A and B are shown apart, each in its own frame.
Chain A
Amino acid sequence: MQVGVLALQGAFAAHSDCLTSIGVQSIEVRNTEQLSSVDALLMPGGESSTMSQLLESSGLFDPIATRIADGMPVFGTCAGMILLASEILDGRSDQRSFSAIDISVRRNAFGRQVDSFEATINSSVGDFHGVFIRAPRIERVGDQVEVLGSINDEPVLVRQGNVLAASFHPELSNDARLHEYFVSITANKKKV
């Protein structure tokens, strides 16, 4: 199994380190050739508007959309979650997303960097130490979406089929359990 980490901009290196720590091979994805060699894709945090533009200029947007529609597992954290959401609030008007998971997210809704925080997340996958950096908020969750983790009764970790999304940064807390969970989704899918 090969997991790709979208490496256009953002915290891709930290995600690769997490995958390495659990013995999973990963490659950085910056073009369509690299995309075609992966079974699953991780979309890191960073700036969603920067990534949107680089998705267009690198010609990756449509091929990724097709792969997601064909069932490729994807895991988006922070900006990656914004890219996967069906609705972006407070984003740039020209910002496109993959609409892969039926949630509405508000960009930077937890505030500026001065408000960035770390806190414990209670989740059905386990309790996590979550790091929130200028984090987006999940303001609406569709019927098909399962809420896996919350903080103060607010959803922060959600899943719809093969699409996993988190508003926080599991790659920043030396804890690869969510990466393991994502890899297990990919492994189960391969068996089918």
Chain B
Amino acid sequence: MAHSTAHTPPDAAPVSLCVRRHAKYLLRALQVIPQIHESSVDANRMNVCFFGLSGLFVLPDEFNPVREQPGERARLVQWIKTLYVADTQAGWAGFHGGNTLRTAEQGVLHAGEHAGHVAMTYTALACLRLLDDPLTGLDRVALARGVAALQLPDGSFLSSAQGGESDMRFTYCATAISHFIQDWTGVDRDRAVHFILQSISYEGGIGQGPHLEAHGGSTYCGLAALQLMDRLDALGSVQRRKMIRWCVNRLNEGFNGRPNKLDDTCYTFWLGGALTILDPFPDIPNFIRQVTPFVLETQDVITGGLSKSSDGSADILHTYLGLAGLSLAEFPGLNKVTPTLNIAQNRDHTS
């Protein structure tokens, strides 16, 4: 998103993480998105909010201006909740990604016909968890019903009740939502597990659906969903061994998402997370740590932010996933990320 042309000169590779600049970069994303990005962001503002906020909570506390500021936290909570939609008739609820349909005169237009987008509901609840909000004003039962309305007979989940695609991303979102609201009535776990197992490819990794190519992102989603459902043991020993091999084979200088594809910063989290969940051998952080030089090379040391590769331009997704991945590698100073939820671990703090 926030493109910049400044790059690290090749012979002056940064050896450290530009924490202060990344904090500014993340904070900027939470504030204003420039006009040239309106088209890519408008329907996904909740995701941008998640990447920005979650990134700040991964950074050392002294660089996170949100953590200890009740006013800022309240502002964020308030805005996130403007995207909450509930259909009182059908009894389901969820979150939208942006306020495209919200008007002063009529509130959210035809809120009864849809209940948000499951990915936005996940990122909204993740943000609220980071902000220690007790979900005041949200109807947990309706949120669980909103999840239930999306599950298809094959066990997969649609993105929204309006239809749309169904793939492994939304299986993950459905399980993470259920975890956040502590209500699993929205997920038929047996069917969800079946869908995940059906999506394991001959290569050993997990695809977005049955027969699709194994992919780092969907492998993370499937494994995290299994773990959140407490069903990681559904993987047979052969499946587990092949999956471990496929995941460790993604490591080059960085991680790639599929065989013979280029390394990309975002897979630091997707593969780092998958391996942390699988936990096949001692000291996984040390294994992930090997990609640190690659990730640091993708920093924009002028504007802050990380990009997918050393010759790309920084964007919020790669900035967040790069930082979260480095956290899984126990990069000094960064807060620990819970691999299944993709947010910094909850800690007691005064507010």
Check if A and B associate: no
B interface residues (Cβ-Cβ under 8 A, vs A):
none
